[in-house]
Each structure stands twice: as structure tokens, then as C-alpha cells.
């Protein structure tokens, strides 16, 4: 992945499984546009 993913939770506890899912989905965004800097 060409950009670091920063995950912020508000109002509920973190989860390693959810973190992994978010990172996997963020990696898919590179297929559409490789210049993403934030979302």
C-alpha cells in the first residue's frame, strides 16, 4: 500500500479483525486511483 492507513474509532472499542478488514478495503481503492492521499 502506498499510503498509511490511520483508523480512528469514536464511541466503540477497536477490533483487530475490523482493523484488518478496513485495511483490506482501503488497499482495494488503489485499483481505482493510486494517488489517493486521504478519505
- Alpha-carbon distance of 10 to 21, in angstroms, equals 17
Answering whether pTM is above 0.75, one says no
Host domain of residue 30: 1-39
- Alpha-carbon distance of 14 to 35, in angstroms, equals 28
Q: What's the total number of domains in the chain?
A: 1
Q: What is the pLDDT of residues 1-39, one digit of tens each?
A: 566 788 899 998 999 999 999 989 888 887 777 666 666
Amino acid at each position: 500500500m502506498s499510503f498509511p492507513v490511520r483508523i480512528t474509532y469514536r464511541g466503540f472499542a477497536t477490533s483487530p479483525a475490523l482493523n484488518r478488514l478496513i485495511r483490506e478495503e482501503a488497499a482495494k481503492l488503489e485499483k481505482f486511483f493510486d494517488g489517493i492521499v486521504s478519505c
